[in-house]
Chains A and B, each alone.
Chain A
Amino acid sequence: MIQVDQLVKRYAGMTALHGLSFSVQKGEIVGFLGPNGAGKSTTMRILSCYMPPTSGTAIVAGYDTYKESLDVRKRIGYMPENVPLYPEMRVVEYLDFRAALKGVPRSERRSQIEKVAEKCGVKDVLRRIIGQLSKGYRQRVGLADTLIHDPELIILDEPTIGLDPNQIRQVRGLIKELGKSHTVLLSTHILPEVEMTCSRVIIINRGRIVASDTPENLKRLRKGGGETLLEIKAETAAVEEEFKALANVTQVEVTSLPDRYLQVVLHPKGDADLREAAYERVKARGWALRELRRHAQSLEDVFVQITTEDD
């Protein structure tokens, strides 16, 4: 669906993209991650034919975004960052205008508007003036607009920014739903969102791709991790001595908590799982135990590690 090859974009005085290459298959939901200024919006603008790359090619739905931009534009739905809308129009007028512009025949426009309004939760505000809507509702109107012509590819630049937790959850659900029949490329800063919705993640940093994989595989990328956490009631010295003796433990951190409990962090060697062995020790010594867990790898850790590493 998307085939990007050696994409370079230079703005006056600075290079935003240094030879980006990636591809997205039909039916995938791909999350585009990266710190501020990484070049996410720039890439999306190129893919949606708003501006051309300085060099390199981007093929979307089988057409070149520069040479055959009209064919590309017919097949995509793009929601820019900050969701620009005409404040003076009513929601229904705006959606009708956009539907007409995107070539939805007059006879289908009404049903189409009703369909997307239902999906995006703007049914109740159809008669309202856009300028008077709250940010979240404007976001939904923008989302409704991207879907109105049933595009093959949906490109969303930070679709959930500015939404309340309920709405974020709804939009996530919507994106997942869309992923069944459409290809979706979205950018976001919210990492749990990517984990929940995307089948693949592309992380870019300073105009270069630094990782591209499923969220699960990415999490394994992180070096270290997998620490075991315990909270027990015991003497610090005894605890240190006891756990240092365990196989596969490289380091033991003990901190006392205010309520006479100790928090113990066991760093494992490699991927070893220390929970069972640690429990055996605690049981043998008869310590009171109120928590025992293994620190889960989060995409956030991976993100921070990848994007702050010096290159």
Chain B
Amino acid sequence: MSAVWILFRKEMMSYFYSPIAYIIGVCVLFLNGVNVTQIVKWLSQQPSDYSVFQVMFAGFFTWIVFLIVPPVLTMRLFADEKRMGTIESLMTTPLRDWEYVMAKFLSALCLYMMLWLPTVNIVFVLRHFAHDTAALELGPLFGGYLGVLMTGMLFLSVGCMASACTRNQVVAAVITFAINTAIFFVGLLFFMDAAGKLREVFEYVSLYGHMDELCRGVLDWRRPFFYLTSAAFFLVMTQRIVQSRQWKS
């Protein structure tokens, strides 16, 4: 059995043993509920420029979820091992640094996706009651969930890095929130009529833009590439930080 799987299982167990998973689950459900009422309002109004999924996956409340959930899920991961000293017993077993990082990251990602599970329900409820399901096509739906997954990967990898930097959970959460918000707002800069190359750069890092396009069912290889490379970057940074105890000072 691979070490990643063993540690992953333990991390999932720890999530469900602590109140975090339940509290955050309730919050996400609540925010999604608010979101649904928004969507229903939208559907019952005159034709609008936005699709249902744009509201559902790239609306205001969704972005709150995107920004709030990752710090909460990741803050404990690495910081607590250091605070309690369990890192010492953990890293003296045959566990490689990258396995340690990947297991922690994957457990956060798994719980994060579980938090989104109830929204699948919403989609089917909407499809059931809508007269016209044209606005609820499956393409944009998958696009939306792909966006959810990839945004999560990016924000959670930032969270892992922040958590590895400190032994204080609160500090980790604050750093994560700050970096993620910064990334998000840099991406919004492309609305400020920047021209030429600069605009292209802003567009490339625009999380909002990516999400918006994905929800319209526009798939472009550059989007997954952007998310995957940036998440990989933060995970490699995390691994480096974990490994720094092995530096011969």
CA distance A234 to B211 in the complex (A): 101
Chain B residues whose C-beta falls within 8 Å of the C-beta of A70 in the assembled complex: 94, 96
Question: Does B94 contact A85, Cβ atoms closer than 8 Å?
Answer: no
Chain B residues whose C-beta falls within 8 Å of the C-beta of A40 in the assembled complex: none
Mark each residue of chain A from 5 to 35: 1 if its CB lies under 8 Å from any CB of chain B, else 0. 0000011100000000000000000000000
Residue of B nearest to A97 (CB): B10
Question: Does A93 contact B94, Cβ atoms closer than 8 Å?
Answer: no
Confirm or deny: A260 has a beta carbon within 8 angstroms of a beta carbon on chain B: no
Mark each residue of chain A from 97 to 109: 1 if its CB lies under 8 Å from any CB of chain B, else 0. 1101111001000
Q: In angstroms, how far is the closest chain A Cβ from the Cβ of B85? A: 4
Confirm or deny: A159 has a beta carbon within 8 angstroms of a beta carbon on chain B: no
Question: Does B13 contact A89, Cβ atoms closer than 8 Å?
Answer: yes
CA distance A199 to B18 in the complex (A): 45
Q: Which of A54, A55, A80, A89 contacts B14 (CB 8 A)?
A: A89
Task: Check A88/B86 contact, CB under 8 A, given A50-B91, A52-B248, A93-B13.
Answer: no
Confirm or deny: B135 has a beta carbon within 8 angstroms of a beta carbon on chain A: no
Task: Check A12/B88 contact, CB under 8 A, given A74-B94, A93-B13.
Answer: no
Number of interface residues of B (CB under 8 A): 27
Q: In angstroms, how far is the closest chain B Cβ from the Cβ of A176? A: 24
Confirm or deny: B182 has a beta carbon within 8 angstroms of a beta carbon on chain A: no
Confirm or deny: B1 has a beta carbon within 8 angstroms of a beta carbon on chain A: yes
Chain B residues touching A, majority SS = helix
Q: In angstroms, how far is the closest chain A Cβ from the Cβ of B4? A: 11
Q: In angstroms, how far is the closest chain B Cβ from the Cβ of A88? A: 4
Chain A residues whose C-beta falls within 8 Å of the C-beta of B6 in the assembled complex: 97, 100-101
CA distance A106 to B245 in the complex (A): 31
Mark each residue of chain A from 69 to 106: 1 if its CB lies under 8 Å from any CB of chain B, else 0. 01001101011101011111100010001101111001
Give the interface of B toward A (CB within 8 A): 1, 3, 6-7, 9-10, 13-14, 17-18, 84-86, 88-96, 245-249
Q: List 3 A-B pairs, minimum CB-CB distance, nearest first.
A: A84-B85, A88-B17, A84-B86
19 contacts across the A-B interface (CB closer than 8 A): A10-B249, A49-B91, A50-B88, A50-B92, A52-B246, A54-B249, A76-B92, A80-B85, A80-B92, A84-B86, A86-B10, A88-B14, A97-B10, A101-B3, A101-B93, A102-B93, A103-B94, A142-B89, A145-B89
